[in-house]
A and B are shown apart, each in its own frame.
Chain A
């Protein structure tokens, strides 16, 4: 039934003119090619960034394999072309296409985007446009393509509500399949797009923004968000209750050209017990659930066998919190060592392990150790509930130095709520203590100096965190604090790197933005924003001009404190964590008081409601 425009011939004529053509050809091991005439639903899984970034993303790999496991559905991958390829595609009239079939995606059934970070919003518009589609959902009248989006930024999707037909909240495994089932039946019955959307809104986890009306107070805050056509007043995110039973791919698409993370990956757990108050992932992925060690081991073995990767990573927000880690590693080493496969443990706390075990996994083989104290003083770390003490930081560094490392990278945030100048200086003081520690070690690596890199990001308040009420420091204030940092440094062994404050400011505005921002996103795209996650392509001016043209005050979104009772643009979306809990946590933060982690004591966030039982025990 499908006869779409195929771009294979057009590509032949242009691919040798672009950088790294391997990104645009498909045909990788593990990529799935089907007979288009035998499927009912064609799905374009779009990652709004370049191939190397998108191909590193685990969520895409899971959903790709899972959808293709259905006989009636063919899911293809689509990435944002780099600037040189885009220019050629526009010049030659080559539309955006799926990497498996090389068919233009404009006539696919469903186009799905993953929303990983706010600065990729304009890339979505650009990809819709490159596909030859109208960027506005309301102007796309046909049932196909339906444009959907999920991923972490779907927890406040309002700044792109005009462009996307529906959002998928929470974990996608079950939700995507239910959506495809509904779509298929509506398509076969010849139903309209409007009717499909009304029905889709009844699926738990589906948010159809056009079915909600937003009204505002005179001061610009939201008065109400009201559903219509039977849409639910609150949309609840979906989770998978049992990670041992959920689909996990046995095969990945193995890119020819190197991706950012180019290895087998096995997810070991979801959620996080820690509750760091600045961390959105720590809240929106609750509750904490683990796989069994056996499942992880089985997944890892299958993936390595089928992909030929020589490295497998155990991924999660905090792999140290996996309760069966040590037995799992022993089980895995039994086959990884003879097969010459490395085990990588990203985000691992080095001090939890026996030295012998650490030496056998890849985490110790890197030349530089990274560690994230996030704040420089104990008071500040208590405010953000980052349960790390100075002693632990120093102990970890000592272990590393004794193990032969001479380079340490420490991550911090600037502009945290309640931050004083002494907290800022505290960042450098902590780094200095690490330097001093090195020189006082009797068994330090011989003949070498130490190198401590302090990497400082600007704090961005995010929805569904206890800091969703907080103002972001103004750019002037952040710049002033950056100066304090530099002035406090007195050792040549310390180097300071900080992130650009305009990007953080725009992130803050978009993260907590509302629907009135849609014209701004469109303006920025029209003005040339398309890969704003890349410094080379990012221009803040486009956004400032756009805000002026659209009559928006970005400071209203970024730098304003919200009252606890203000209606947030995302209040009609429920991620399991209650607003009452976020308010409680916010108040504790202002009293410099920590909250124990979920394993020590349940803080009553409400996320266990998604499981229908207590999270632990």
Chain B
């Protein structure tokens, strides 16, 4: 067992399709098994029950897809980063695709924002009608929402912590982009906002697709 580790690599990957129903915890286990299958020289923890050590920058909510996930692990030998990507893709399950790997630059604490693409479908409402209501709801100067935290539920003002853009209605569906606070200090999930919106207005989607498209630092640069 190697005592030393060489580099911490950050692998960027997409999570798309039915694998969105796999919870974060299950993905962690799945990826550590994939690493085992890949036979990449991955660092294991020491001790009685050695295991692969992986961390994820920003866990993705159950049901969300993403084109910008990242995870970190340590290699015990130097390897071309393309090899890491291709070896992972050989062993990843359907729906997970690695597209880049590089030595980790920033700390996950530097994450401040995330971008999402959201599609909602309504069985009983017209897209235009919901679009108008949503823009109005988001345009208020204060947007109180109930958020569950470690210390129980509290009401926060979400207004400074998100914005929506490019709202487009088509038939009974609605499409828009959202940027929302992300990271360990304050994480605002699109579902939290859309649930609050639905509760107040009655416009609850019968189907929804959320794709995380970017993870950003305070300076609105891509997390690297």
Contacts and interface: CB of A to CB of B under 8 A. Distances in A.
A246 interface: no
Nearest to A340: B50
Contacts of A258: 26, 29
Interface string B32-48: 11111100000010001
A305 interface: yes
Nearest to A102: B18
A254 interface: yes
Given A306-B37, A308-B37, A29 B30 contact: yes
A27 B33 contact: no
Interface in B4-40: 17-19, 21-23, 26-27, 29-30, 32-37
B21 A22 contact: yes
25 contacts: A12-B207, A15-B21, A16-B62, A22-B23, A22-B26, A25-B19, A25-B22, A26-B18, A27-B94, A29-B33, A29-B34, A254-B30, A256-B30, A257-B22, A258-B29, A305-B37, A307-B33, A308-B32, A308-B35, A308-B91, A310-B33, A310-B36, A340-B1, A340-B44, A342-B49
Given A21-B63, A308-B37, A309-B36, 9 more contacts: A15-B21, A16-B63, A22-B21, A26-B18, A29-B30, A256-B22, A257-B22, A308-B35, A308-B91
Name the interface size band of chain B: 20 to 34
A27 B34 contact: no
Contacts of A27: 17-19, 93-95
A28 interface: yes
A13 interface: yes
A21 B23 CA distance: 9
Contacts of B95: 27
Contacts of B18: 25-27
Pairs A-B, 7 closest by C-beta atoms: A308-B33, A308-B36, A308-B37, A21-B21, A256-B26, A256-B22, A25-B18
Contacts of A24: 21
B33 to A, nearest CB: 3
Interface string A301-344: 00001111110000000000000000000000000000110100
Interface of B: 1, 17-19, 21-23, 26-27, 29-30, 32-37, 44, 48-51, 62-63, 91, 93-95, 206-207
A21 B50 CA distance: 30
Nearest to A33: B94
Contacts of A16: 21, 62-63
Contacts of B37: 29, 305-308
B26 A257 contact: yes
A255 to B, nearest CB: 9
A309 B1 CA distance: 18
Given A12-B207, A308-B35, A310-B51, A21 B62 contact: yes
Interface in A268-307: 305-307
A29 B27 CA distance: 12
Interface string A57-91: 00000000000000000000000000000000000
A256 B20 CA distance: 12
B60 to A, nearest CB: 14
Nearest to B37: A308
A267 B51 CA distance: 25
